[in-house]
Each structure stands twice: as structure tokens, then as C-alpha cells.
Chain A
Amino acid sequence: MRGSRLGDRLLHLYTWLIILWLSSPIAVMILFGFNDKRSKSNTTWQGFTLRWYAELFDIPDLTTALVNSLVIALVSTVITVVIGTMLGLALGRHRFRGKGVTNFFVFAAISTPELVMGASLLSLFVSGNVPRAAGTIVISHVLFSLAFVVVTVRARIVTLDPSLEEAARDLGATAWGTFRQVTLPAIMPGVLAGAMLAFALSIDDYVVTSFVNGSTVTFPLWIVGAVKTGIPAQVNVMGTLIFGIGVLIAIGNAVAARRRT
């Protein structure tokens, strides 16, 4: 782009400032994972230690909770992205009966207070005699993330030019081939963005999960319960690892992108 290089630089700086702002509480969390605390509370700095890293998995229930959360987040993200992208395509590309109603319920899914959603899902499961466990958590997480994926994917699709797909079909591509080679690559940024939102929504959910979990405990649930007596530093370390792995993935992605070109 022509013109103000300075403007672009400022925006670049601004973007990093926003990332920094969003991550600032994470810095505190990481710091207190090294706190040599001598009581159950972990809010005053009392010296440096690596003890909590060595004892990371000493609280078996916490470890289980973390694993549960990661698995549930991955599974529900995959399901949500697949069915949400399909619905996003239908809403963004096609005219069909029930479109208005569908839009309404997508809206309703976002606007239902979490607590009400959790409570009514629980009633539904109880009356259907469905045992509450990881499966019901996944079902619920898909439900509240679905609308976010649909809306994000649709925002992408409506900016696309349909003539590209028509051209592909005119050239003899099958419907599936057109989707895989033309549509999917074009909507991929929307799908990825939706997937990230779904993952974030799932792994951080407390309210809905607390109703439909049965006796399966997730990471946020365990932490909220532990607030009563004091959150162990291992929680900070686990948070640090999630964040650290995320940063590594981000860097890896950037490096890989550089290699490809």
C-alpha cells in the first residue's frame, strides 16, 4: 500500500500492545507459578522456587481435571466446527425454508444466559435419564459454541464471490470437489477463527459445565472449588504450560509459514 508507512508501523505496534494487554494477567499467573508460598493462599510473592514444577502432578484430581478439559475442548471443537461450518454455508450461500427460524435460534443460543442454559440442559438430561458425564459436557459445549462458529463462518462466506464455485462446476468438478478445492480453502480463515473461539469457550467454561458434569470434573470447575481453601500453585503451572504450548504453536506456525514461501 502506498502512503503512510508510519501508519502501518503504528498499527503494528498497536496490535502488539493489545496482545500485551490481553496477556498481562497471564504474566502474573506465570510469575506466581514460581512463588515459594508457605500457606495455601498464593497472592503474595514470597520467593522463587521450581518446586511446583517438580510437584506438578502431585494432585491427582487436578491432573485428571486438566486432561478432561483438554479432551473435552478438542472433541467439542471438532464437532462444533464441522456442523457449524455446514450450517454457516447453508445460511450464507443458500435460500431455504426455515432460514429465518434458524437465524433466530442461532441468536437465541448466544443470548441465553449460561446459567439458564445449564439448568435447562440438566433438566433435559435428567428427564431423559441420560447419565451426566463427559459426553453431556461435550453436547453442551457444542451447543453454546455452535452459534459462534456459525456466525464467524457466515461472515466469511457472504464476502465470497459465488462465481468462483460456479466456474469450478462449469469446468466439470463434482460438488464435493468444488467444496474441497474451492470453497473450503476460501472459507478456511473463518473456520479456523471459529475453531479457536470454540476451543476457548469450551476450555474456560464454568457455569454450564457445573450443571451437566455429573461427577466428571474439569479444570475450571476444580479451580473454582479450590478458591474456598486456596488455589495450589500447580494450577498456575498448568496454566503456564497451556499458554507456553500455545505460544510454541504460534511461533511454529509462523516459522513454517516462512519456510513454505
Chain B
Amino acid sequence: MKRLTPYLLALPSWMWLAIFLVVPMVAMASVSLQTGNAIDGFAMTFSFSNYGDAIGRYSTQLLRSLLYGGLATVAMLVIGYPVAYWIAFKGGRRKAMYLFLLLLPFFVSFVLRTISWNFLLSDNGILLGTLKGWGLLPAEFHVLATTFAVVGGLTYNFLPFMILPIYVSLERVDPRVVEAAQDLYATRAAAFRRVVLPLSLPGVFAGVLMTFVPATADPINAAILGGTSNTMIGNIIQTEYLTNLDYPTASALSFTLMAVLLVGIFIYARALGTENVLEAAAR
């Protein structure tokens, strides 16, 4: 019975993933090797060159996505860790309240959030317009339609996905352990680095996984906040799929993206000092 436990626990999710994820993924893999067009039909030709062509055409957008996703992830980690830390150790009885408040804005449609950001960040709006009025910013200064806006948008939209897992692992750490560490080491910083940080690493790993991956694939922020050269790979996949009806290219790009992200996570896991990426994911 005990040997069976993990299998029974995993069974429902396995079924879900097998039917609704694995089957479509295999289908997608097959599509990515086909040639043709949507009107005359597609045929399986094992055209592995689809991958080469797609990557060749869109390498700029692919690399840019990784860069933006990476920058946003670092920003989220830097911004989010202290929040998770404070709620975990000092949130007291209100821990749940703080977490809920952090997540609440995301219960409301992204369309409304976007419209509001456009209102707030408009070139002559209540923020920039006021600062310009005071002469603190040049008239030409703008936030919307820039790289900064795209990375900022990604940071904003995925931040809770960084904070929550870090909080979840930190909350487990006994404050007395931290106190003892502070007695042991000379500075708070040293105590943090030697004791708290290692204990929170599973949460950091989970947070990075849950933010870097979707942020890199995200099409929405670049479309709304970007300028003329901020297109990300998610936008390309969308156009290839919905406008050009080029399903093979869209599928090939999705797999490429997935593979690149996997490699990225692997490198990151190695940097954390784990030998095997899947083991790392399991920690």
C-alpha cells in the first residue's frame, strides 16, 4: 500500500496531463513537421527544416524574449523577495491578508488593468504630465512604447507568482533559527546569507520557474506597452497562428521556445548547484 501511495497521489494529475497536454503536444509536434497551407491543406513531410526556417527568421525576437523575460525575472526577485520575507516573518496573524491583497488586482480583467496603466502612464497624464509641468522631465520623455515599459509590464503582471512561492518556503523557517543565526554570525547580512537564503531556495526556484517561463512566452505586454522594435516571440507565434494560418511555423516556434526555456532552467539549476535539472525541479 505504501509503495502505491505516490502513484495514487499522482494519478488524477497524470490523467489530466496525459489527455489534455501530452496528446495535443504530440499533435503539435506532428504539425510542426508538416508543409502546405491552410486552404489547400497540410501534409506530413517530416520537414525538419521548418525549425531552421522559423528560428532563422525570428532569432531576433527569440533572443529578445529571453532577455526581457530574464530582466523581468531578476526585477521580480529583487522586488519580491523582501515582501515575501517580511510577510513570512513579520506578517503575524495578517499573513493571509497581505498575500490576498497582493493578488487581488489580478482577479480583475487584464483589459481593465491595461486601460488604467495607459491612463496613468500617458505622456501627458497624471504622472508624467505633472512631472513635466514641474520641469522635472523633458517634454519628449515617455514611458509607453519603450523597452522599459515592456519589461516593467512583465514585472508587474507576474510579481505575485514570484512572491507567493518564496513566502511559502520562508514561512516554514522558524524565526528562532534566524535569531540563533544572528547570534552566531556577525552581521544580519551574514546570517541571512548563511541560513535564511538557503532555506528559501526551493521557493526561489519555484518562483523563477513560474515567472521566467510565462514572462518569456508572454505576448500581451509587448503588444500593449512596446514600441516599434519590442516584438516578442509570443507575438510572432500569435501572428503566425491566427493571421497567417501557418500552423507548422507556429508549432515549431512553440517547441523551440519550450526547448530554449528548458535549457535556460537547466543552466539556472546548475548554477544553484544541482546536478540534475529534473531533480532540481523536484526540490
Contact = CB atoms under 8 A, between A and B. Distances in A.
A139 B20 contact: yes
B146 interface: no
B106 interface: yes
B74 interface: no
Q: Chain A at the B interface: mostly helix, strand, loop or mixed?
A: helix
B206 interface: yes
Interface residues of B, number: 101
Nearest to B104: A246
B156 A14 contact: no
Given A100-B278, A112-B254, A219-B109, A25 B117 contact: yes
B86 to A, nearest CB: 4
A26 B83 contact: no
B209 interface: yes
Interface string B92-126: 01111111111111111111111111011000000
Nearest to B85: A11
Interface stretch (B3-11, B33-41, B48-56, B130-138): B3-11
B161 interface: yes
A223 interface: yes
Contacts of B168: 152, 155-156, 189-190, 193
A217 interface: no
Given A152-B206, A159-B202, A14 B83 contact: yes
Contact of B93 (A1, A113, A140, A258): A258
Contact of B27 (A108, A123, A175, A242): A123
A113 B219 CA distance: 9
Contacts of B68: none
B281 A204 contact: no
A253 B104 CA distance: 14
Interface string A197-223: 101100110100000000000011001
Nearest to B108: A239
Nearest to A92: B282
B27 A29 contact: no
Can you list the 10 inter-chain pairs with the closest CB atoms, starting with the nearest? A120-B24, A25-B116, A94-B6, A257-B93, A28-B116, A90-B9, A155-B206, A87-B13, A11-B86, A96-B6
Interface of A: 1-4, 7-8, 11-12, 14-15, 18-19, 21-29, 43, 82-84, 86-87, 89-96, 98-100, 102-117, 119-121, 123-124, 139-140, 142-143, 146, 148, 150-152, 154-156, 158-160, 175, 189-190, 192-193, 196-197, 199-200, 203-204, 206, 219-220, 223-224, 227, 231, 235-236, 239, 242-243, 246-247, 249-251, 253-254, 257-258, 260-261
Given A120-B27, A148-B210, A155-B205, 5 more contacts: A15-B98, A120-B24, A124-B23, A197-B160, A243-B108
22 contacts: A1-B175, A1-B178, A4-B188, A14-B83, A25-B112, A27-B116, A87-B10, A100-B278, A107-B281, A111-B217, A113-B254, A154-B282, A155-B205, A156-B168, A158-B169, A159-B172, A196-B164, A197-B160, A231-B112, A235-B112, A243-B108, A253-B97
